[in-house]
Amino acid sequence: MSSNKHAEVLKAADGFRKKDDISLIDVLTLAETSIRSMKTFIDSLDSTIYREFRDIAEYIQNIPRSRQNPKILGRYDAKIV
């Protein structure tokens, strides 16, 4: 989280500390600010997971046929040697 986004969250949270009566708008403002501040992190995490799955899929595709388990490939009548 960047320091600017962190400051926004702290500012919204400070608003809670200074009030005796917290409204729904206050809660929604804090929630929105928190979500916005986490967007970069979540986007990065999504990209990393997607890249990992692509790498795993590529690795599986490149396994020599002789090393693949025929039962995993859907050939249930094949015997494993």
Is 25 among the domain residues?
yes
Chain Cα centroid distance, residue 46: 5
Whole-number pLDDT of residue 39: 85
Is 79 among the domain residues?
no
Is 75 among the domain residues?
no
Is 77 among the domain residues?
no
Is 49 among the domain residues?
yes
Distance CA 30, CA 28 (A): 5
Is 11 among the domain residues?
yes
Range of the domain at 51: 3-67
Domain count for the chain: 1
The pLDDT profile of the chain, 81 residues, written as one tens digit per residue, is 556 766 777 777 776 677 777 788 878 888 888 888 888 888 889 999 999 999 999 988 887 766 666 666 555 555 555
Is 45 among the domain residues?
yes
Is 8 among the domain residues?
yes
Distance CA 27, CA 15 (A): 10
* DSSP 8-state assignment for residue 80: P
